[in-house]
Amino acid sequence: MYVCLCHNVTDTKIRHLVRTEGVSSMRELREHLGVATQCGKCAQCAKQVLNQALADMPAQARCPGMMAAA
């Protein structure tokens, strides 16, 4: 689904960035994709998709430092 029409951003693109680039904040999402920098109407939806993508990640992937400490 399209999240940001101004910058042609889909939920799939957001989930991909979370998995591959470690994006974990709206600031990082804005830097990578331009989300919520034009009209701002997508901000709430983008944050929901980001939060869901982060919740779907295994704990080890979210905290790589914890693997080294173990």
The predicted-structure confidence for 14-55, as pLDDT tens digits, reads as follows 999 999 999 999 999 999 999 999 999 999 999 999 999 999
For the chain, what is the domain count? Answer: 1
CATH code for the domain of 45:
1.10.10.1100
End-to-end CA distance of the chain: 39
| Residue-range definition of the domain harbouring residue 49 | 2-69
- pTM strictly above 0.85: no
Helix axes 43-56, 11-21, angle to 10 degrees: 50
Cβ neighbours of residue 54 closer than 8 Å, sequence gap 6 or more: 18, 24, 62
Residue 68 has pLDDT above 90, yes or no: no
Contact between 69 and 23 under an 8 Å Cβ cutoff? The reply is: no
